[in-house]
A = this chain, B = another copy of it.
Amino acid sequence: MRTIAIDAMGGENAPKAIVDAVLKVKPELPETKMVLFGDEAKIKALIPAEQLDDQLAIVNTTEVIADEDEPVKAIRSKKDSSMVVAANYVKQGKADALLSLGNTGALLASGIFIIGRIKGIARPGLMPTLPASSYNNEFNIIDVGANAKSKAEYILQWAKMGTFYAEKVRGIKNPRVALLNNGAESDKGDDLHQEVYQLLAEGSLNFIGNIEGNELMTGKADVVATDGFSGNVALKSIEGMSSVLLHSLKDSLLNNGLFTKLGALMIKGGINEMRQKYDTARHGGAVLLGVNAPVVKTHGRSGARAIYYTLKQVDKILKENLISDFKNEFGK
């Protein structure tokens, strides 16, 4: 049986959305046990008694790491927080993966300092799955901010881990790998990106060359390798533009007279379809790759539906033995 440790206290809708998602996914994952970490009384009140069976347990914790807490300090001082206790569970082998909606920095620190790096991995990288504009497509991008300073060696390992993930978890054959850069040609970018380009070109991955920011969403690559700084800028720029445009669309539709307002009602279905397509939550959480267990972060504002998808994603990572593959590959 696989076991997922779930921080039930992180995010805006905790613990209700988390518990709802767990109850929804439970019958679909009969081989999987889920352990909720947090305020036992509050969590228990949300769960019908008969659901607390072999597949579902609660571990009471008394502290919560807040979004504004300084990450490394928080995991050291809040020893009885839902996140830290859950991470220790994983470290002790009592659970196989960690999921949280809480403080991203603290979760990364829990992964790196408590659960620990895989031997042979220089730096773990954070990798979300994002929607691409071509039909039913998505792409992975790694690292998006676990590392402000990157070396060629790190980026190569991220590209390789991303490839493993795309193959096994997303079922892509021979995933196309691209390097985020400021132009298409091989000599583009600074020294770091030129070096990584050469190494990828000479390596064994299915490297298709550089990709620019405006091509990310086209689905041209299955896996985008990037230094953690630029990756963070790209991810946040995409999120920011998407949010600004969708809000602006709403404003334009509501403030252009009755005729437009009526039209807006009529296109609701179309807009919702688009919203869903670019709803990053549907594509699961961001995975910290390179630590001894899957550590997955999903948006703090996620509702039960997004968490449900993320739980299925975590289960799939475990089922596919991704961590064993990494250990075999990098621990040699």
Asked whether, in the complex, the Cβ of A237 is within 8 Å of the Cβ of B241, the reply is yes
Query: For the complex, is A48 an interface residue (Cβ under 8 Å from B)?
Result: no
The winner among A182, A191, A217, A265 for most chain B CB atoms within 10 A is A182
A247 to B133, CA, bound (A): 9
Query: For the complex, is A273 an interface residue (Cβ under 8 Å from B)?
Result: yes
Asked whether, in the complex, the Cβ of A249 is within 8 Å of the Cβ of B271, the reply is yes
Tell me what chain A mostly uses at the interface: helix, strand, loop, or mixed: helix
Q: Which of A1-9, A113-121, A226-234 contacts B (4 or more CB under 8 A)?
A: A226-234
Which residues from chain B contact A217 at a C-beta distance below 8 Å?
Answer: 240-241, 244
Asked whether, in the complex, the Cβ of A270 is within 8 Å of the Cβ of B252, the reply is yes
* Of the residues B149, B180, B247, B262, contact of A233 by C-beta under 8 Å: B180
Query: For the complex, is A176 an interface residue (Cβ under 8 Å from B)?
Result: no
Asked whether, in the complex, the Cβ of A213 is within 8 Å of the Cβ of B234, the reply is yes
Interface residues of A in 185-230 (CB under 8 A from B): 188-191, 193, 212-218, 228-230
The winner among A246, A264, A265, A273 for most chain B CB atoms within 10 A is A273
Which residues from chain B contact A243 at a C-beta distance below 8 Å?
Answer: 214
Which residues from chain B contact A270 at a C-beta distance below 8 Å?
Answer: 249, 252-253, 255-256, 260, 263-264
Interface residues of A in 159-198 (CB under 8 A from B): 180, 182, 188-191, 193
Asked whether, in the complex, the Cβ of B259 is within 8 Å of the Cβ of A274, the reply is no
Asked whether, in the complex, the Cβ of A260 is within 8 Å of the Cβ of B267, the reply is yes
Asked whether, in the complex, the Cβ of B190 is within 8 Å of the Cβ of A214, the reply is no
Query: For the complex, is A266 an interface residue (Cβ under 8 Å from B)?
Result: yes
Q: A266 with B269: in contact, given A213-B234, A214-B239, A278-B248 (CB under 8 Å)?
A: no
Asked whether, in the complex, the Cβ of B237 is within 8 Å of the Cβ of A233, the reply is yes
Subset of 25 A-B contacts with CB under 8 Å: A149-B191, A182-B229, A189-B229, A212-B236, A213-B233, A213-B239, A214-B240, A215-B236, A217-B244, A218-B240, A218-B244, A229-B230, A233-B234, A241-B241, A245-B274, A248-B277, A248-B278, A252-B274, A260-B267, A260-B270, A263-B265, A264-B266, A264-B267, A264-B270, A266-B266
